[in-house]
């Protein structure tokens, strides 16, 4: 029984920068029509790892694996068309391929599809659809999408401005290593905006509680008091 293509070995060879060995290993399995190997071999040609850099060959290999349904290759081919790597730029084709890969669960494709809608590249501009794409990828842990989602809530792009949600997503993105999100989180001005939003919400909650008490709605009043306590806690932590 033939040995299977080992993605863990591929990762190790990349980390150790053993590019000649990486190229030969991927090429051996690519010749056996292993789609993961074809995808990795495309990367070797793109970066010039263990072989001469050849963007046309890289794009051709992306196409070969993509037409067989390899999701990461579909995404890579979309990048080729978006950036003109080994092929003529085609924003419409790029958007179509991002959409295809996103529907199959590729989070990079979800984020890139959101950027297509955000900027109107290859499709009509739609901040609402961009927000939906960012939300889907962010929920899957994609740090750049989390940052983009936080920015949309901060500026009110595709949705109502919500500094509390913005704070949540930007902090999460920063925790996941996104440098841009970390810059937003560290800005004193941004922290002041969060405090202002919390102050406003706290004032509204305090105004509602007495009215509920007058009408005898103790259950809702208790919930409002709980909200006030949570807002005070968040206010101290912000």
Enter the pTM of the model.
Answer: 0.77
pLDDT digits (tens, 9 = 90+) for 170-201: 999 999 999 999 888 776 445 566 666 666 66
pLDDT digits (tens, 9 = 90+) for 36-94: 999 999 999 999 999 999 999 999 999 999 999 999 999 999 999 999 999 999 999 99
CATH architecture of residue range(s) 1-89: Alpha Horseshoe (1.25)
Domain ranges of the chain: 1-89, 107-186, 193-238
Residues making up the chain, counted from first to last:
238
The SS3 of residue 228 is: helix
Q: Which CATH class is domain 107-186?
A: mainly alpha
Residue 109 has pLDDT above 70, yes or no: yes
User: Tens digits of per-residue pLDDT, 136-172?
Assistant: 999 999 999 999 999 999 999 999 999 999 999 999 9
In order, the DSSP letters of 6-53 are -HHHHHHHHHTT-HHHHHHHHHHHHTTT-HHHHHHHHHHHHHTSSS--
Q: Whole-angstrom Cα distance, residue 64 to residue 74?
A: 10
Residues 149, 154, 155, 158: is their CA dihedral positive or negative? positive
């Amino acid at each position: 029984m033939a040995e299977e293509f080992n993605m863990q070995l591929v990762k190790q060879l990349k980390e150790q920068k053993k590019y000649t060995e990486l190229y030969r290993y991927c090429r051996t399995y690519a010749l056996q029509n292993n789609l993961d190997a074809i995808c990795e071999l495309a990367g070797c040609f793109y970066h010039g790892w263990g072989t001469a850099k050849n963007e046309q060959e890289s794009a051709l290999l992306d196409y070969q694996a993509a037409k067989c349904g390899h999701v990461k290759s579909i995404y890579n081919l979309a990048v080729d068309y978006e950036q003109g790597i080994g092929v003529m730029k085609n924003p419409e084709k790029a958007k179509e391929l991002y959409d295809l890969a996103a529907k199959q669960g590729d989070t990079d494709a979800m984020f890139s599809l959101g950027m297509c809608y955000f900027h109107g590249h290859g499709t009509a501009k739609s901040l609402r659809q961009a927000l939906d794409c960012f939300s889907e990828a962010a929920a899957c842990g994609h740090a750049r999408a989390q940052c983009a989602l936080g920015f949309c809530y901060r500026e009110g792009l595709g949705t109502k401005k919500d500094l509390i949600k913005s704070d949540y997503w930007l902090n999460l993105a920063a925790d996941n290593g996104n440098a841009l999100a970390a810059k937003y989180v560290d800005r004193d001005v941004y922290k002041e905006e969060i405090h202002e939003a919390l102050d406003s919400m706290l004032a509204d909650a305090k105004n509602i509680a007495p009215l509920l008490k007058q009408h005898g709605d103790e259950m809702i009043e208790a919930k409002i008091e709980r909200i006030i306590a949570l807002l005070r806690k968040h206010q101290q932590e912000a």
